[in-house]
Amino acid sequence: METTFSYQKKRCQFGRQCLFSDKGPDLIDDYPGHTQWMKDFILRDPVDKSTQNAPMQSKHCVNTFRAEFSTSSMNHVEGGWPKDINIQDEEATKRYRRKIEKDDAFNPTIFQLAKTMENCILQNNAINIYQQYFDDVEPAPLIEPSSARIVSVFQDQCPVKRPISHISWSPDNGTKLAMSHCNLTYQAVPKPNESSHSYIWEMENPNTPYLVLKPESPCACLEYNPKDGNLLISGQLDGRVVIWDIRRGSDPVDHSQIEVSHRYPVLNALWITSKSGCEFFSAAPDGKIIWWDMRKLNEPLEVLIVDLVEDRLQCLSNALGVSALEYEASIPTRFMIGCENGQIYSGNRKGKSTMEKLNVKFDAHLGPVLALQRNTAYLKNFLSIGDWTARVWAEDCRESSIMWTSYHKTMLTDGAWSPTRFSVFFTAREDGIMDIWDILQQQKRSVCCIKVCDVSLKCLRCHEMGRLLAVSNSAGSTYLVELSENLTTSTRNEKTLLNAMFERENKREKILEARNREIRLKLQQQQMTEQTAEGGEKRLMNRADDDFEAKWITPEVKQAEEEYMKIVNEELKKRNLKVVEDIPEIDNVTNDDRVEEKQ
């Protein structure tokens, strides 16, 4: 039976119809020459013109003495002996040999000369062309240029094109793609004929969706169950989480109650490792992280509010919004979150309080953390995407990242590690360009750059085999990008070299952190010394005032002051004025100041 597939397309989409005829060529226009115009021009003869296609360079000459070498041969029969050794005397030659063999430099010298001698001997040997000489040597790989090409496009079936907010590959070798369409613009008004549908596509059929998901509210994220390709979870625009089973059709199986759900759109939802295989957790910009069991969505298993101030009660109004979420199945109790203020927190679910659960902090970016993912081979190293740069971190270094890209002119929107080549990661930009980075090859710029589309890229996800990459944009289209073989296949020494690079950068950052701590400690000590010196000066001034009073204010002076005040008060009483209780303080002013005051 022959397998066929009909491809249908409207006539208006083919362009203008081509009409052919047997008519010969026609002259459309002709411009005759004007003999009068020739008189206005002067013929230049001869014409001499030179063009230099290379930049001019300076030249510098230095006179040096050339060393002349000559090659000569000599025949060693007995070997070289000192003049005071008689080669005919056997005892003298044996005694000299024993003396030389006991020298410390004898063995290294022999090994050094043996290589040169062996090379000279092997030059006379003939090579057998039928013998395999290099069985244990790995052939050098051919240098292949890094490249990528678009092989397929999946488009939004809705008349009003909506951005794609999340992509997920199915666990059955990535034969299907789940895409969630959602407009996350703040207070965006839905357009007419705008639907809330999301789609599941088959890789071999980019024309018709495999299944259309019909939620009540648009899906902000959509994630496959890593063990069952029929189950999916989604985070909705209204803050709820929804369970899907593709065997039951396009309608959701179950959803959470809005009273116990998030208050903001659920941007991230990931499955976690559990005995039942039914648990997952979600995060949203409202500052809550909620753990769920798909069999009982009426009540969450655990709720964590990202409020990291110890002295106050946990409150959503003070919580940090979560913009990125990361979970590794091999570390069941650990997770990582990226916040809207640019900080990254490494969490442990076994902690009792919020500070114990989120005990490690990284000051990562200037704006929200848009993507977060651990390296497949080195779980202590993770990638973060935010503002205009991508950074590679190590859990041991908390003050700074160990590697980072230069700041781009346009903002980065998403990023991911390659699952097969551990030194390669991908970044998506708002100008429609996807960059491919290989940190073993070069760190200052990407090894490959591909223009995917003319609109902003939103998210990207790599296939588990590493050869394909799904990249989506804000116009509702997803592009399937195929990478070259050198970007997907690892060499034998790559893992060793990457490990050495991570260790070297980690050690360098630790040295810098220790140096920064030392500088901060010195500054603190200097400030404390300055404060102590200021306090000592004040004490010395007060002490000087006390010494002045004890030295100059004698009993005679006090008696004179009392008599003076008595006379002043008696005069004031005669004039019916207020009595002065104490001697007024005399300001330290000059005669010129008194003259100005009188004037």
Give yes or no for a contact between 199 and 176, defined as CB atoms under 8 angstroms apart.
no
Q: Taking residues 574-581, report their average pLDDT.
A: 63
- Cα torsion angle, 139, 140, 143, 149, sign: positive
Return the HEC string of 281-305. Answer: EEECCCCEEEEEECCECCCCCEEEE
pLDDT in tens, 508-539: 888 888 888 888 888 888 888 887 777 666 66
pLDDT at 227: 87
All residues at 6 or more sequence positions from 96 whose CB lies less than 8 Å from its CB, including other chains: 81, 82, 85
pLDDT at 585: 45
Report which listed range, 10-24, 89-103, 186-200, 246-260, is most confident: 246-260
pLDDT in tens, 24-44: 777 887 777 777 887 788 878
Q: Does domain 148-184+194-308+317-491 have CATH number 3.40.630.30?
A: no
How do beta strands 148-154 and 478-483 pair? antiparallel
Residue with tokens 């003298």: 92
Over 50: is that where the pLDDT of 184 sits?
A: yes
Whole-angstrom Cα distance, residue 213 to residue 178? 10
pLDDT at 595: 36
User: Sorting pLDDT into bands at 50, 70 and 90, what band is 593?
Assistant: very low
Over 50: is that where the pLDDT of 596 sits?
A: no
pLDDT in tens, 68-77: 888 777 666 6
Residue 174 Rama label (left phi>0; alpha psi -120 to 50; beta): left
pLDDT in tens, 305-340: 888 877 666 778 888 889 999 998 888 889 999 999
Q: Is the pTM of this model over 0.75?
A: no
Whole-angstrom Cα distance, residue 244 to residue 255? 9
- Cα torsion angle, 399, 402, 405, 411, sign: negative
Over 60: is that where the pLDDT of 594 sits?
A: no
List the structure tokens of 181. 């369409």
List the structure tokens of 472. 């989506």
pLDDT at 222: 92
List the structure tokens of 54. 């290379």
Which residue ranges make up each domain of the chain? 148-184+194-308+317-491
pLDDT at 563: 83
pLDDT at 587: 41
Whole-angstrom Cα distance, residue 215 to residue 250? 8
- What is residue 200's three-state secondary structure? strand
Whole-angstrom Cα distance, residue 152 to residue 201? 12
Over 50: is that where the pLDDT of 597 sits?
A: no
Whole-angstrom Cα distance, residue 10 to residue 28? 35
Whole-angstrom Cα distance, residue 435 to residue 448? 6
Listed range (129-133, 153-157, 174-178, 211-215) with the worst mean pLDDT:
129-133
Residue with tokens 């000299």: 96
Rounded to a whole number of angstroms, the distance between the first and last alpha carbons of the chain is 121
Hey, how many other C-beta atoms are within 10 angstroms of the C-beta on 477? 18
All residues at 6 or more sequence positions from 433 whose CB lies less than 8 Å from its CB, including other chains: 410, 449, 450, 451, 452, 457
The pLDDT mean for the chain works out to 82
Q: Give the DSSP letter of residue 499.
A: H
Q: What are phi and psi of 305, to 5 degrees?
A: -95, 125
pLDDT in tens, 368-392: 999 999 998 888 899 999 889 999 9
Whole-angstrom Cα distance, residue 213 to residue 244? 9
Listed range (14-28, 357-371, 455-469) with the worst mean pLDDT:
14-28
